[in-house]
Each structure stands twice: as C-alpha cells, then as structure tokens.
Structure 1
Amino acid sequence: MRAVTIRPSSARSLEVRDVPEPVPGRGELLVEGLAVGVCGTDKEILAGEYGWAPPGEERLILGHESLGRVREAPPGSGFEAGDLVVGVVRRPDPEPCGACAHGEFDMCRNGRYTERGIKERHGYGSECWTVEGDYAVRVDPGLEEVGVLLEPTTVVAKAWEQVERVGGRAWFEPRRALVTGAGPIGLLAALLGVQRGLDVHVLDRVTDGPKPDLVAALGATYHSEDIDRVASSVRPDVVIEATGAGHLVFDAMAGTATYGIVCLTGVSPKGRQLSVDAGTINRELVLENDAVVGSVNANLRHYRHAADALAKADRGWLERMITRRVPLERAEEAFAAQDDDIKVVITLTG
C-alpha cells in the first residue's frame, strides 16, 4: 500500500512510497484510510524541525488528523465494518505518570507519551491503517466529507473545557468571546463558542477571501483592525488565541474584561524577542482576577465532545472550511501554501 512518509530531521524528505500492509493486533481495527488533514505540525516535521520515527525505523508515516472506514473489527469492540472512525493521536507513556494513569494523557507529566504521525508511532497517512479499539472514535455517517476536521476540533473542545473549568473557580457567565486567528483552529473555536450561545468575534488580518464569509455564516463578527481597538470595543470575557503571534498573545492578555480568561492554543516560533511591560501585565492579571492558560492536544473525552460538536454543525459550513483536497500521489502539493487556504486535506482513496 502507499503512504506519505518523511525522514525525521531531514528537511524536504517527503515521499509517497509503498509500505507493508498493516496486520491488526489483538483488539485492533483494520481501517481503510479516507483522508488526512495537513496542519502546522506536519509542516514543521516536513521542514526537519520536529518528529521522531518509530524505534528502529528510518521513516515516519505522517498524518495525525485522520478519517477512515472500518474494514474489520474484533467482536465486542463496539465497532462494525463500514463505520467511519478517527484515530486518537496520543498514547500514554508506558509507566504511566499520574495524569496518564487517569486517562488525562494530553496532560502527560513526564513527556514519555507517543503520538501517531508525530512521535515514535506511524501516522494515519496511508491507504490502510490499524488502531486500537480503545483509541478509535466513531464519526457520524453524515460527516464523511468533513470528518477529517474532528482532530483539530478536539483541540478547541479541550480549550473551551479549560476555559470553563478555570471560570468555575467562581461565578462565571461569559457573554462575549474573541478568537484571534481565522485558520482552522480559530474558526472551529468560533464554531464552539457560537454553539455555547456566546457573542463571538474573530480577528484576522485578511480582509477578503473565504474567512470573513465563514465567520459571518456562523453569526459571529469578523474584524481585521488592530487588536487594541477590537479588544477595547468588544471587552471579551474569553479570548481563544489561535495564532501564536507574540504581540497578539500579550495584547489579548491585556484586552479582556475584568475576570477575563485567555486560552493560548497557538504555538509561537522560537527566536523572536518582544519587549513587554511585565509589571503592568502582572498588575492587571492580579487586580482583575484574570487568568491565562495554555492548552494543547486532547484526550478521549475531548474527541467525543468534538464529534458531538461536528454532528450539530452545519455540514455546508464545514465543507467550506476544507478549501483544497490533494490526491495521495501528489501529497507534496498539500504542503505548499496557496492563497485562501484554510484547511488542506490529502485524500487517500482514488
């Protein structure tokens, strides 16, 4: 079978090549791969900046944003042939740490977790793959064209959960939310904010293309002005930061309403320096009871919440988020950015 592979730590080593057909182990599903999404992490791996092959192997099969159809399922697994499924990305460390032992492997304390398509486990970017039944999530049959969005939706499902848990330290009834960035994570964060009944505002620098229309179709408000102006007019109770741009991170922290919560989901690049007034930031955080929390990855609970959120969403809106589909044999094209790209998907079937 064919798979999208790279040699970790070697830039531009992507190759679609033949690899052995997987053989399901005890308790594993055999799955026909339908699609994988491409995100910033995949691009970092392709650039040689990140990623580890399985022990004893030179190449890594890419793909952590998965969608597939079950071919074979073991008795008692809860799955049947024909089911649409997504594979969970992370696996707990083998010891395990306390968090992993309680099913919170997204919060692993010792860093010895593994991840499909990223860290020491082959990903889902192949024509066929296997996954443990305990790490597979069933997808609504009506989501065949867009179910590949489930994994990025888990990221924001966890982010919103983190916000609500932090808010739960006292009375908490947020009304307005600001999402910085209208890429896939930002748009999905806005979707879940709207589903929560919030007045959602999205900030991005582009002024045309599909992003403003997608935000408007949610019933949210799109902004392209300076963040200081937007934050001062919106006064958000919650900010979901989805860009990783350093200046936006600090401006978002300064722009919330009293008792505001900022959840950082974007990963900032290394090596860039900013001058910030740490004293003012500290003073505002303390005197306004503000909170800033980082959030990454997801556990099984977040996958189920994400599946529910996508099942409730407008299918046409989700389809518009996927702006380009690239066939497996031309997988490298998926990593070359084009104007108006939002989510690019590699299709694994003919």
Structure 2
Amino acid sequence: MKAVAVYPGKPNSVHLEDIPKPSLSDVKDGKGVLVKVLKVGVDATDREINDALYGNAPSGFNYLVLGHESFGVVEAVGPNVRRVKPGDYVTATVRRPGGSIYDMIGTNDMTSEETYYERGINLRHGYLTEYFVDEEEYIVRVPQGLKHLHVLMEPMSCAAKAVHQAYECQRRLKVWRPQRAFVMGVGQIGILATLILKLRGLDVYAFARSKHGTLNSQIIEGLEAKYVSTSETSVEEVVKQVGKADLILDATGNSAIAFDSMRHLGHNGVLVWASITGGQKSTEVPSDKINIEWVLGNKLLVGSVNANRHHFEMGINDLAMGEMLYPGVLQRILTNPVEGLDNYQEMIRLLVEEKSALKVYMNIAAE
C-alpha cells in the first residue's frame, strides 16, 4: 500500500513509499485495531521533518512515514478489544511509551527519557498511509457528530493538555479562579486553546500580527473572544486597559514573544509555553524586572508538549461543546484539503508557500 515518507536527515526527501498492509496479528494479546485512514492533517512539524531539522526512522528502516494527525474508520478489531468496533470513527494518540515510570502509567507525553517515540515524528511510522494497526490503548473514538472536524482531534488534544496543565499546576494555590487569559498566536493551537478557555468562563484576548478581517480573526470573534492585532494595538496597551493576565498561553512559535509574555502575567499567574522554536535566535529581556516580579508575584512558567489519551478525550468533549455553542465556527479552521497520497508534493507546497493556509489536510479515502 502507499505511504508518504521521508529519509530522515536528507532535506526535501518526501516521496511515496510502498509498504506492507498491516495486520491485526501485528499486535499482541488480541488487542489490535485495524484502521482505514480517511484523512490526515499536516502542519509545520511535517514540513520541518522534510527539511531534515529533526525526526528519525524506526529501527530497521531508512525511511519514516509522516503524519501524526489521524482520522479514520475501524475496519476490524482483535478478539480482546472492547472500546471500539468496526464502523467507529477514530483518531490515535501520537506518543508511544519508553521505559520511564511515566511511560509505564500511561503518561507517555510526560516521559523523563531523552529518547521519545512519536508516530510520524520520531522512531515510529506515522499515519500518512492507507491503513494502520495499533493497540486499543492508543485508539480514541470520535463521535459521529464530530466527523466533520476530523483532523482537529490531535491539535485539540495538545491545546487541551496545555490548559489542563495550567490548572493542575495551580492547585498549589488551593483556590485559583482565573478571570482573564491571553492567547499569543492564532494558528490552530491558539484558536483551539481560545475555545477551551472560553468554555472555562475566562475573558480571552487572542493576539496576532494580522489586522482584523482575516479568517483567523473571524474565527476568534466567532468564539466570542477578543481578537487583538498587535500591528494596531500593543499588548502593553491592552494591559493598561484591562490589567495583566491570570493565564497566558503562547502558541506563536516565536521565542521573543514567548519570553516577552512574562512581562504581562499577573500575580499568582501561570504562563504556558505550547510552541517550539528551533534555530539560534537570541532575544533581550528585562531580566532583573522579570526576576523580582516573578518571585514576589508567585508566578509560574510551564512547558507543555504532546498529549495522552486523557487529553484526547478532554479535547473531544470540548469540541462537542464548542459545536453546540458556536456551530459552524470550528470547521472554518479546515482550510486546505489535498486529494490523495499521490499529491504529496502539493501538500508540501501548501505548507511552505501558503501562509494563509490555516489547516492543510490530506483526503486519503472515502468512507
């Protein structure tokens, strides 16, 4: 069967690979699930792997199958599978366990090991193919009423984890009732985090460079949050008007903004970094001022990466609530479909050239 793959370490090596169709027997104990892939979302991670910035092939292979944002339908299950059945729509988690205690208890996203295993990213093949088999533990059922949001399940899980981590950390305060949140960046993660924070009852300000009227700004406003164009209004001006934030989530992929956000966090607040910045860029920060304000203000910085099954389920629940409160808004994120695995070059072109492409995804098969 066909798969879109790269040769890790070799720039611009994306290609079609012919791989064997998987079997339920590939999973032990009768707990395998065979999934027909319908759609796969792609993002900057896939582009950067094709640029050879990171990513490694599984042991015994010279290629890595791309794709970590899966959506498909169950075709067959092993005799000991209980959570899903043939005909169910599903997605699948990304991180797979290593050997740390965190991996052993199902929190693979919190591994303490330097080596990590992620389908479509590092040391495990991804979902950009026609079928895949995985253990029942890593398969998450998607309600039929949300199938039109398909590939948003994985990015939503990352946003759900990032917000959940903030609340988990703030248990240190015994009583924490955040009122105001700043979301830095309005890509897919920023938009989905905005939804989650709105559902938690916060007053949300979403910041981005683009002026009002862009699709991203329209979606933010459709979620009844406040869109702020930093080319028109600075973060400092917003802080003067409404005060500092209780919670800030950075999803910009810009280290300067990530560090600058520290200046805008209120007492007992938490700043979550949910985006990754590569390269060697340096930025200057008012370190003395930040240091004293953070110590005296009991402020917290936490990093959040990936998600486990619990976060996928949390995210799906919030998507369902978002669809009821803001019908039709979230589907607008899905901007750029690509038809078929053979059109992998168009997929890469969109990721590289189309700056307005909010969400690129590949239609692999019909239902």
Question: Given the two structures, how large is their TM-score scaled by the length of structure 1?
Answer: 0.96
Answer yes or no: is the 8 Å Cα contact 1:228–1:251 preserved in 2. Answer: no
Who is 1:230 aligned against? 238
Who is 2:334 aligned against? 322
Q: Structure 1 residue 114 and structure 2 residue 123: aligned? A: no
Post-superposition shift, 1:77? 1.1
3-state SS of paired residue (2:312): helix
CA distance 1:121–1:34, change in 2 (3 Å):
same
**1:68 aligned to 57, 72, 78, which one?**
72
Matched letter for residue 329 of structure 1: D
Write out aligned runs for 1:140-289 (5 A): 140-170=143-173, 171-207=175-211, 208-225=213-230, 226-234=234-242, 235-289=244-298
Post-superposition shift, 1:74? 1.6
**Distance in 2 between the 1:332 and 1:239 partners?**
37
**Distance in 1 between the 2:95 and 2:292 partners?**
37
**Distance in 2 between the 1:339 and 1:100 partners?**
37
Answer yes or no: is the 8 Å Cα contact 1:227–1:251 preserved in 2. Answer: no
Post-superposition shift, 1:339? 4.2
Answer yes or no: is the 8 Å Cα contact 2:34–2:76 preserved in 1. Answer: yes
3-state SS of paired residue (2:114): coil
**Distance in 2 between the 1:249 and 1:76 partners?**
46
Write out aligned runs for 1:27-176 (5 A): 27-78=31-82, 79-93=84-98, 96-170=99-173, 171-176=175-180
**Distance in 1 between the 2:48 and 2:140 partners?**
26
**Distance in 1 between the 2:186 and 2:348 partners?**
19
Who is 2:309 aligned against? 300
Identical aligned residues as a percent: 36
Deviations 1:92-125 (A, max 9, x none): 11xx212112222111111233111111111011
Deviations 1:239-296 (A, max 9, x none): 0100131221122111022221110001122210112222211111011111111110
3-state SS of paired residue (2:148): coil
**Distance in 2 between the 1:251 and 1:339 partners?**
24
**Distance in 2 between the 1:301 and 1:294 partners?**
18
Matched letter for residue 356 of structure 2: D
Answer yes or no: is the 8 Å Cα contact 2:219–2:330 preserved in 1. Answer: no
3-state SS of paired residue (2:205): strand
Which runs of 5 or more structure 1 residues have no equivalent in the other structure?
A: none
Post-superposition shift, 1:28? 1.0
Question: Given the two structures, how large is their TM-score scaled by the length of structure 2?
Answer: 0.91
**Distance in 2 between the 1:42 and 1:80 partners?**
30
**Distance in 1 between the 2:239 and 2:142 partners?**
37
Matched letter for residue 216 of structure 1: E
**Distance in 2 between the 1:5 and 1:294 partners?**
29
**Distance in 2 between the 1:168 and 1:73 partners?**
40
Post-superposition shift, 1:223? 0.3
**Distance in 2 between the 1:232 and 1:270 partners?**
33
**Distance in 1 between the 2:121 and 2:240 partners?**
39
Matched letter for residue 16 of structure 1: L
**Distance in 1 between the 2:114 and 2:143 partners?**
33
Which runs of 5 or more structure 2 residues have no equivalent in the other structure?
A: none
C-alpha RMSD of the superposition:
1.4
3-state SS of paired residue (2:113): coil
Answer yes or no: is the 8 Å Cα contact 1:326–1:333 preserved in 2. Answer: yes
